[in-house]
Structure 1
Amino acid sequence: MKQLNLLSISATLVLATGCASSPAPTVQTGAPASTQVSKTSQPADSVIEGNFPADSAFAKIQIGMTQGQVHEILGQPTDTKTYQTGKAWIPFYFGPDTMRTDEFYKGVGSVTYTGAGIGGVHWKVYRAVYNSAEDGFAK
């Protein structure tokens, strides 16, 4: 009976620490003030970076946007790459960051989405990097 109580207490602690919220994402150089989004549901290292022109389509990208919203702005990517994160292997982790997808846009940069958890895949912008020298293909 004591082992069962200890097991349930341990499981509760694991679940409680896995549900802690992370600090708001940051926006680096070149990003207009409109891209500074405070989404506590996004990981702390979410970022939009690069020296992009304020009037470019890339300037409209924001942390937390859906994949469909980004495709309306930038169009279809040149190439994509999907992979699992280490969180996919954590027992009792039910958060949304178990998979990521990188989309590459030739001459524009790349957008990384995070998603996959209980209930399916819901891709949201995790990171966007403007790079006018982007070749558009996954490495």
Structure 2
Amino acid sequence: MKHYKTLAFFAALALGAGCASSNKAPAQAGAPAAQSSTAPESRIDGNFPANSPFAKLKLGMTQGQVHEILGQPTDTKSYQTGKAWIPFYFGPDVMRTDEFYKGVGIITYTGAGIGGVHWTVFRAIYNAAEDGYPND
């Protein structure tokens, strides 16, 4: 019985804390919207020639579609994102894969999650000076 009161107290505390949280941003009267000077994380970037196979890439393409256009990569690297450590995140962005193409650039895929792996283009950076290997 002694533990029942302690358990009830902590349950009420947890419920109260959950009810107090909110996803709403605080309103700022008269404050202009902040403009980001950084490029969006998901993008196709670089000064690639219009007739380059790289120009055919689109965000959301599958890995197989990219391989049909560019061929096999020189090297690859896979890694976990920070979302892999969120306890109740079940979305598709817990892992990413980078594919390095010598003289072309880097293609980053996302799509690994609790439901399996379905790699799609997340970011593509054209770089004619790319050596084709991860540099870290």
Quickly name the TM-score band, shorter chain normalised: 0.7 to 0.9
Task: State the alpha-carbon separation in 2 of the partners of residues 45 and 135 from structure 1.
Answer: 22
Task: State the alpha-carbon separation in 1 of the partners of residues 90 and 64 from structure 2.
Answer: 24
Alignment of 1:86 onto 2:82: yes
Alignment of 1:104 onto 2:130: no
Q: TM-score, normalised by structure 1?
A: 0.71
1:75 to 56, 59, 71: 71
Paired residues, what number? Answer: 112
Q: TM-score, normalised by structure 2?
A: 0.72
Task: State the alpha-carbon separation in 2 of the partners of residues 60 and 91 from structure 1.
Answer: 37
Alignment of 1:131 onto 2:127: yes
1:58 to 37, 54, 59: 54
Which has more radius of gyration? 2
Gaps of 5+ in 1: 18-27, 29-43
Gaps of 5+ in 2: 1-7, 25-38
Alpha-carbon deviation of 1:94?
0.6
Paired residue secondary structure (1:123): strand
* 1:49 aligned residue: 45
* 1:21 aligned residue: none
